[in-house]
Amino acid sequence: MKSNLLRKKLAGLQTWDKIVRLDKYPVTDLKSPVARKLIETGREEMARLGGCEMPDFVTPEAIEALQLESTIMESSAFFKPIVGNPYLTPEDPKLPVDHPNRMTEPTRVGVLAYDQYPRDSLLRRIYEWDPLMNFVGEILGLPAIYRYADPMGGLNLSVMQKGDYLRWHFDQTDFVTSLSIQTSDVGGDFEFVPMTRTETDEKYDDVSKILKGDRQKVKIIKNHPGTLVLFRGRWSIHRVTEVTGARSRLMGLFGFDSKPDVKSSAHLYDIRYGRSSVLEEPPTFEDYERASQK
C-alpha cells in the first residue's frame, strides 16, 4: 500500500533540516546575513513584479513524500466547473459586451480542504510551522502575520487534471503563498502580467487586451516541485494554462493573512469545497486508500 511507503518516508523526515533547505533558506534565523539577503531580494521582487519565487525550498526527500501523500488524497478533491469574469464578481449587463467585466471563461480546479488533511501530513506540518509563516511575513514587510482561522481554507491542495484550466483573474486577497508539489507533463503553467492594475486605476483597456490574447507583458513561472512562491494576485492578473498531460498538477496553498481570524464565506465554501459542515476528525492516509479501493 502507498500509505505504508509514505510512513517510511515520513519517518526519515523528523527534523526540519531534512524537510527544508535550511542551508539555502535559513528561516529559523531571520537575522542571519543569508536570511536578510533573501528577505531584501524578495521584497525587491515583490515591489517590481508583484511576486517572488524560491526554488528548492524543500528537500528532494520531502518532495517525494509530499507527492506521495498528495496522490493518495487527490481523488477526494472537490471539482465544480464554473464560468466567470476576471474579477470574480457577477457580470454587469449595463456594461458593453467587450468590457472585461463581461468577458467570461470556464474554470475547473479541484480542491482538498484543510480539514481533510491527516494530522500527520507533511504539508500540514509545513503550513503549521511558525518559522515559515514568519519568513513570509518578513518578505511581505508585515508587522504581524497570521494563519487563517478557517478550518477548510487554511491549507488547500489545488488539483488540476487533464483538461483543467484556471481562467485569467485577480485575487480578492492581498497575497497568496504556494508550494509546488507536482507539475503536469504538459501545460499547467502559471502565467501573469505584473502589476496589471493599481488601487486607483483598473486599466480596463489593458485587461481587455490580455483577455483577447495579447501576450506582450505575460511572464511565466514554471513552478518546479519544491518551489515556494509569494504572489500579490490582487493587482496582477494571472491564470494557469490548461493541463493537457496525464499527470496531475498539484499545488499546496497556505492561508496566511495580515489580519487574525480570517474565515471564508458560506458562498466560497459551496463553490470551493461543495459543503458547509467541517469534518469532526480528519481522515487518515489509510482511510483514503480504503476509499479509493471501493
Q: Which three cell numbers stand for residue 216?
A: 506582450
Q: pLDDT tens-digit profile of 204-222?
A: 999 999 999 999 999 998 8
In 3D space, the residue among 164, 100, 142 whose CA is nearest the CA of residue 232 turns out to be: 142
Query: pLDDT at position 273, please?
Result: 96
Query: pLDDT at position 44, please?
Result: 97
**What are the backbone angles phi and psi of residue 288, rounded to the nearest 5°?**
-65, -40
Q: Which one is the CATH code of 2-292: 3.40.50.720, 3.90.1150.10, 2.60.120.620, 2.40.50.140?
A: 2.60.120.620
Contacts of 221 (CB under 8 A, 6+ apart): 51, 53, 189, 190, 191, 192, 227, 229
User: 81: how many CB neighbours lie within 10 A of its CB?
Assistant: 10
How high is the mean pLDDT of the chain? Answer: 96
Length of the chain: 294
> Please, how many CA atoms are within 13 Å of residue 204, restricted to the half-sphere of its CB?
10
The ranges assigned to domains in the chain are 2-292
Q: pLDDT tens-digit profile of 109-134?
A: 999 999 999 999 999 999 999 999 99
Let me know: does 117 contact 281? Beta carbons within 8 Å. no
Query: pLDDT at position 268, please?
Result: 86
Q: What is the dihedral of CA 132, 133, 137, 139, to 10 degrees?
A: 20
| First and final C-alpha spacing in the chain | 14
Let me know: does 234 contact 248? Beta carbons within 8 Å. no
